[in-house]
Amino acid sequence: MIKEAFFPTFIYGKDLQLDTKYFEKEIVEWSKQNPGVRKTNVNGWHSETHMHQMPQFKTLVDELLTMHNDPRPGIQTHMPARIKGQPPKHLWREVHLEPRENRVIMFPAWLWHCVEPNESDDIRISVSFNFIQDGFQ
């Protein structure tokens, strides 16, 4: 028997117990005082990239570092396996993750990903970080 997995990718998720209202207040205030940067953001504010060094976000950063270094297996998603000689039934798999307050999703940065534009009048805050694993500096 031949079993193949093409590009298996681990995606980790965790619901945190943090004060999101506090972070919302801090981020909105930051956006009022700082013009931010232009990257992929469309009609939105993108912070400068030193959020992880700001004391008001230490509890969030500590949670993310703990989660990043947690050796337990997370949710695994991967390309469907196929037997040699048979064409793959699905070449790509698309996953949509619904936003949820206090939910953290971690995945490799090389996965194609995006945040859809916010077309409501409500404030939506998406926070993202990049981690470099030990040995990959």
The percentage of residues in the chain with a pLDDT greater than 70, rounded to a whole number, is 77
109-133 b/e (C-beta count within 10 Å ≥ 16 → b):
eeeeeeeeeeeeeeeeeeeebeeee
Rounded to the nearest 5 degrees, what angle is found at the Cα of 110, between the Cα atoms of 82 and 80?
15
pLDDT at 79 over 80: no
pLDDT at position 72 is: 53
Q: For the chain, what is the mean pLDDT?
A: 76
Cα radius of gyration rounded to whole Å, the chain:
18
Lowest mean pLDDT among 62-66, 72-76, 96-100, 110-114: 72-76
Mean pLDDT of 42-71: 85
pLDDT at 76 over 70: no
pLDDT at position 32 is: 94
pLDDT at position 93 is: 57
pTM comes to 0.68
The neighbour count for residue 60, using CB atoms within 10 Å, is 22
pLDDT tens string 85-130: 444 444 455 667 777 888 888 888 888 888 778 888 888 888 887 7
Would residue 48 be called left, alpha or beta, if left means φ above 0 and alpha means ψ between -120 and 50 degrees? beta
